[in-house]
Structure 1
Amino acid sequence: MGIGAGMMAHQWQQAELLDKTGVRVTGVVSRVVLPTGKGQISGEIAYTVAGHRHTVRKTPHGGYPHPSQGDRVCLEAAREHPRLVRLCGDRYPDGDDEFPTLALITTAASIGLLFVTGHWIAKRREIRGAAEPSADRPS
């Protein structure tokens, strides 16, 4: 739960940095990477920021569902940290779907943990109440 919250905060900070200092660059798919466990084809995308060449592996979406070598891809890179990059149109660095999913999982886990803890505390009190001798009972 704490790890999920930390990851969400980190993604949020990265998104804010990209929103403030992001520059649009055109990347070119230099290599197609075969499907991983998710079953999606990703591409190794080369791009240049401030005269320096960088490479990132992303799964293009929208107009690029199946990347091919040589495809041009719109990217947003942070001016001061050009390795921080996202596809144009994404709101978070790792894609629009990952952040809301992570937020939902973290919220559900927090609620579940609170429910289980509350239930455990109530049961412990019930057991303690049954085990203590009552002042009304004759001994």
Structure 2
Amino acid sequence: MSILNTTEIMELIPNRYPILFMDYVDELEPGKSIVATKNVTINEEFFQGHFPGNPVMPGVLIIESLAQAASILILKSEEFAGKTAYLGAINGAKFRQIVRPGDVLKLHVEMIKKKRNMGVVETFAMVGDKKVCQAELTFIVGATDKKDK
């Protein structure tokens, strides 16, 4: 059972197709941790060029998936509700296994530090029982500008 579905996710973060890389949130402890799911399918646009005949999810998009889950964790904190979380830094990123169509990516995020308009999280992504990626991410939280420009 999911805590947040795709529609509810889109109410929290500005990402939309084709750059929304999360299907649902499995677990959420606001201000502490989140676990979310990304079902990787052959229909993803990036597989057309990465790599034809040998589809591999780009590592940067695994990081983006983790960042989106982290954004939800941060924005579910009362003091950041209604704002936007911007990725400020990626530290210690490691890629341990290839992610392919058909894989179910479990996105794990834990809040390490939060102060004023900043948050630092430890993240890792799993496929089954294998860790495929890990990184520390830093976010800057700012006002959401919803005006048309």
Q: What's the TM-score bracket when you normalise by the shorter of the two chains?
A: under 0.3
Query: What TM-score comes out, normalization by structure 1 length?
Result: 0.27
Larger helix percent: 1
Bigger strand share: 2
TM (norm. structure 2) is: 0.26
Larger radius of gyration: 1
